Amino acid sequence: MVALSGGTPPVPAPDAARPVPWYRAVPGWGSLMALGFIFWAALQLRHVVLGPAAEAHDTGITPERLIAALFELLTGLLIIQGACEALVQSVERFGARFKWDGFVAGTVGSLLATLPEFVVIALLVSVEPMVAFTVPLVTIFNNSLAFSIYSFFLPKSQEGCFVMPRAITKAGGEVLIAAAGIAAVLGLAMLGLRGETHKTELAGTDLFVIGIGLLIIFGYYNFSLIRHFARGPEDEQPADPHTRNLPTGWGGIIGLFVLGIVGAVLGGEAISGFADTAINAFKLPSVPTAIGLAFFAGISEYVIVFKAHRKGELGIALSNVFGGITQVMFFLWPFSLIVIGLFGVAGGADAAQFAILINFQTTMLVLLMFPLFYVLLEYIEEDHTLSNLDAAAMTVIYGLLLYILIFMSGA
């Protein structure tokens, strides 16, 4: 720029002082969530235009119905990934405001981030209780496979081993023992009951007792996890929220929390609509359908693990991938059991459909969790390390378990 009257040329404003365009201020997850809301509005418009025809369950796959079902699935995934991120960020800002410990904030955030999955399960119960029972269980198998694959990418020592954090080897090991024991007890009991044929289903009181027992263990597990993690090495501690310069205004905290709640409800509704079509119109088998739903619903969690690992935050990545196993077993699955039991108690004439049949499929789902938890326990407790050999063995074992569930459990 040329100066006038020989004066000093004006200094251009620095880039930092320039206003940021709105489309750059919106994070990627927010843009995807907004797109999901647009798709959800389009689905509502379709229901209004078509009326009862949009809810028809005529058997058969047509191009129009297939596109509509996939559109519902995509809508739900876009909204739910944003809902999870919004809930986590709300907790992080809340923790920063009140100077929470980093691990406490992370634990609360991970628990709250499962809210969309709870909504999906609650809505699936009304569509098909068997799928609501199955989705949490196959999620455990999916997340175990994800954990074993992620183990390949952990930094290894000269001996080829990665030392697991104390929080996982101590508190995590204890809860894996409980999970293996419960899987063996329930699986063998179901096997014996089915053989005697005098009891062919789990309903009402059975589901309440199992669900409440699992929740009690989960409460003690979180207490033990926080206690042992606080005594761990400094390099295993996540950063405290108040050291990350996060906004702490109530408007942002409440706004993100409300956005997460709304997203959980609308995203859960869309995914349950897809499940309704897949089961009642397409007549897809429940186990493969549940595995697909569990995989797509867990994509946002896998993305979090990937981002944390790329930033070198191995504690966050490991806690998410390992928590995806334990939280589902002792938090999400008992919730599904209790909701199914409540629907059965309040179902009146329809109470019979809210019972879980004891058959080959359900028995194998429960019984196969025993080797899953036992193998994981043995590998992380042996010298508290994981090697590539351990990861390879776990991957093959978990892949074999999924193969059995998909191709040997019947339609």
| CA atoms of 230 and 240, how far apart (whole Å) | 13
Residue 291 lies in a domain: yes
Q: How much is the average pLDDT of 218-243?
A: 70
User: Looking at per-residue confidence, does 272 or 409 come out higher?
Assistant: 272
Q: Which CA distances in Å does 119 have to 80, 265, 269?
A: 10, 6, 8
Residue 12 lies in a domain: no
* Residue-by-residue DSSP string for 70-134: HHHHHHHHHHHHHHHHHHHHHHHHHHHHTT--HHHHHHHHHHHTTHHHHHHHHHHHHH-HHHHHH
Q: What is the pTM of this model?
A: 0.83
**pLDDT score recorded for residue 66:** 86
Which residues constitute the domain of residue 217?
Answer: 30-41+61-233+242-407
**pLDDT score recorded for residue 1:** 39
At 310 the three-state DSSP class reads: helix
Residue 16 lies in a domain: no
Task: Tell me which H or E stretch contains 356.
Answer: strand 356-357
Residue 74 lies in a domain: yes
Residue 189 lies in a domain: yes
Residue 135 lies in a domain: yes
- pLDDT, tens digit, 9 for 90 and up, residues 138-190: 889 888 888 888 888 888 877 778 887 777 777 788 889 999 999 999 999 99
Residue 36 lies in a domain: yes
- Given the structure tokens 């010298």, which residue do they identify? 383
User: Looking at per-residue confidence, does 70 or 406 come out higher?
Assistant: 70
**pLDDT score recorded for residue 16:** 46
- pLDDT, tens digit, 9 for 90 and up, residues 54-106: 666 666 677 888 888 899 989 998 998 888 888 888 988 998 888 887 767 77
DSSP-derived secondary structure letter, 349: G
**pLDDT score recorded for residue 209:** 94
**pLDDT score recorded for residue 210:** 94
Number of domains in the chain: 1
Residue 17 lies in a domain: no
Q: Which CA distances in Å does 386 have to 1, 26, 152, 320, 356?
A: 62, 39, 9, 17, 37
User: Looking at per-residue confidence, does 29 or 198 come out higher?
Assistant: 29
